[in-house]
């Protein structure tokens, strides 16, 4: 893992810059703020910009962590009970802006019409009733390791998490493709489009809000949910590996894969890969102020189980999806500068 710790000097420069921006906008979802972010990000400390650029282009690791951002847990107040409405009057707005600026150095942030009401910045927090459900807001059940949005051709190049609270130091788990011994795996079979991948539960209609108030958006969203439904009923077969056969990129979410009907060789290759991933999985305990950027092509990730508190002190992360090729999803978006995939 690549690591950078912000210095007290960095925080001295960042605090007024972030406070000023937080005063100028109401929410991190403001399209004007998000559009300005790549330009604003040029004012981040130079060593931070260099660090992110090295991670982006050189792929020295599938994971990089920026720690040391000031977070005042008292000022944060209670952890919300749901992601709904958390984007307004956010007590973490300055931190959200920092996270957004860093993210835009790696690519373009985007959202899904079918996930967390089409928001760009997500909340990851335990939700009552989800304790044993396979979704990021579960708790008593671990979150199975996965490629973020493995089922979708427009999945992000990076998924990133910013920690606001993690009182029990619940671990995010990550497996870096660099730690796998590809010479012992049937890479050729894993490059074949033979693997049934279904959408994960976070994109199911029952887990999003109701009407957006905009009939056009509602109609488009309904169409997206219908597509999700069709991929559920009639799952698409995709390759698990792609890119360079010597050092492959991965896309898999085994919890949402159906192995029925797979050729014997594909099944064996898949099981071999999953076994090795499990053996090489590492734990990363995020602390308040940590921003972690996970290369979604070069790592899979999940989260250990934990006991939720539901007393306002729960674990609370923010999440951003980042793509290096926003035009690759142009057919799925309403306009060139629209960041929501329908
Ligand atoms: N194996 C899985 N659970 N995959 C889906 C991961 C969770 C999903 N990204 C969410 O926001 O809830
Ligand atoms: O909670 C975590 O540490 C990871 C969450 C995650 O992977 C997800 O929500 O998709
Ligand atoms: Fe995830």
Distance (angstroms) between ligand 3 centre and the Cα of 215 equals 30
Per-residue pLDDT at 210: 72
Average pLDDT of the segment spanning 36-43: 98
pLDDT tens-place string over residues 160-179: 999 999 999 999 999 999 99
Tell me the ipTM for this assembly: 0.98
Rg (CA), the chain: 20
Per-residue pLDDT at 208: 76
Per-residue pLDDT at 50: 98
* CA–CA distances in Å: residue 198 to residues 99, 151, 179, 272: 30, 6, 26, 20
The structural domain count of the chain equals 1
Q: Is residue 222 assigned to a domain?
A: yes
In short, whether 124's Cβ falls inside 6 Å of ligand 2 is yes
pLDDT tens-place string over residues 51-94: 999 999 999 999 999 999 999 999 999 999 999 989 899 999 99
Name the closest ligand to CA 305: 2
Q: Is residue 280 assigned to a domain?
A: yes
Q: Which residue's CA lies nearest to atom 12 of ligand 1?
A: 136
284: phi then psi, degrees, rounded to nearest 5: -130, 115
Distance (angstroms) between ligand 1 centre and the Cα of 50 equals 31
Q: Is residue 330 assigned to a domain?
A: no
Average pLDDT of the segment spanning 251-262: 96
pTM for the model? 0.97
Q: DSSP labels for 101-135? A: HHHHTTSEEEEETTSGGG-SEEEE---TT-TTSSS
Q: Is residue 133 assigned to a domain?
A: yes
CATH number, residue 20:
3.60.130.10
Which residue did the predictor score with more confidence, 218 or 200? 200
Decide: 274 and 45 in contact? Cβ < 8 Å.
Answer: no
Q: Which domain holds residue 314?
A: 2-325+336-341
Per-residue pLDDT at 157: 98
Average pLDDT of the segment spanning 202-216: 85
Burial of 13 (0-12, 13-18, 19+ CB in 10 A): middle
Distance (angstroms) between ligand 1 centre and the Cα of 92 equals 23
pLDDT at 10 over 80: yes
Q: How far is CA 142 from the centre of its chain?
A: 17
Residues ≥6 apart with Cβ < 8 Å to 249: 177, 241, 242, 243, 297, 298
pLDDT at 306 over 90: yes
In short, whether 130's Cβ falls inside 6 Å of ligand 2 is no
Q: Is residue 331 assigned to a domain?
A: no
Average pLDDT of the segment spanning 99-121: 97
Q: Which residue's CA lies nearest to atom 11 of ligand 1?
A: 136
Per-residue pLDDT at 237: 96
Decide: 272 and 182 in contact? Cβ < 8 Å.
Answer: no
In short, whether 248's Cβ falls inside 6 Å of ligand 2 is no
Decide: 122 and 320 in contact? Cβ < 8 Å.
Answer: yes
In short, whether 123's Cβ falls inside 6 Å of ligand 1 is no
Q: Is residue 102 assigned to a domain?
A: yes
Pocket test for ligand 2, best of 165, 172, 320 (most atoms within 8 A of CB): 172
SS3 state at 97 = helix
- Please tell me the distance from the alpha carbon of residue 143 to that of residue 272, in angstroms, as a whole number: 21
């Amino acid at each position: 893992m690549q690591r950078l710790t912000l210095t007290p000097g960095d925080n001295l420069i960042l605090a007024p810059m972030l406070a000023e921006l937080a005063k100028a906008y109401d929410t991190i979802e403001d399209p004007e703020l998000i559009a300005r972010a790549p330009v604003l990000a040029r004012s981040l400390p130079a060593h931070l910009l260099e660090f992110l650029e090295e991670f982006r282009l050189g792929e020295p690791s599938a994971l990089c962590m920026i720690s040391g951002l000031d977070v005042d847990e008292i000022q944060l107040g209670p952890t919300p009970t749901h992601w709904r409405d958390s984007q307004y009057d956010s007590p973490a707005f300055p931190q959200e802006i920092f996270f957004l600026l860093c993210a835009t150095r790696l690519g373009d942030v985007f959202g899904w019409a079918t996930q967390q009401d089409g928001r760009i910045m997500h909340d990851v927090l335990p939700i009552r009733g989800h304790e044993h459900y396979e979704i990021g807001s579960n708790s008593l059940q671990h979150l199975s390791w996965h490629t973020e949005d493995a089922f979708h051709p427009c999945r992000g190049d990076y998924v990133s998490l910013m920690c606001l609270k993690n009182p029990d130091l619940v671990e995010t788990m990550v497996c870096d493709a660099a730690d796998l011994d590809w010479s012992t795996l049937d890479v050729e079979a894993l490059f074949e489009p033979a693997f049934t991948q279904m959408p994960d539960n976070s994109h199911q209609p029952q887990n999003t809000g109701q009407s957006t108030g905009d009939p056009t958006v509602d109609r488009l969203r309904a169409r997206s949910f219908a597509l999700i439904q069709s991929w559920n009923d009639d799952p698409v077969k995709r390759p698990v590996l792609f890119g360079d056969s010597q050092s492959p990129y991965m896309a898999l979410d085994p919890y949402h894969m159906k192995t029925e009907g797979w050729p014997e060789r594909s099944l064996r290759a898949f099981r071999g890969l999953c076994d090795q991933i499990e053996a090489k999985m590492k734990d990363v305990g995020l602390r308040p102020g940590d921003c972690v950027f996970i290369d979604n092509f070069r790592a899979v990730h999940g989260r250990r189980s934990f006991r939720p508190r539901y007393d306002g002190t729960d674990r609370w992360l923010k999440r951003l999806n980042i793509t290096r090729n926003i035009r690759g999803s142009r057919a799925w978006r309403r306009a060139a500068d629209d960041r929501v995939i329908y």
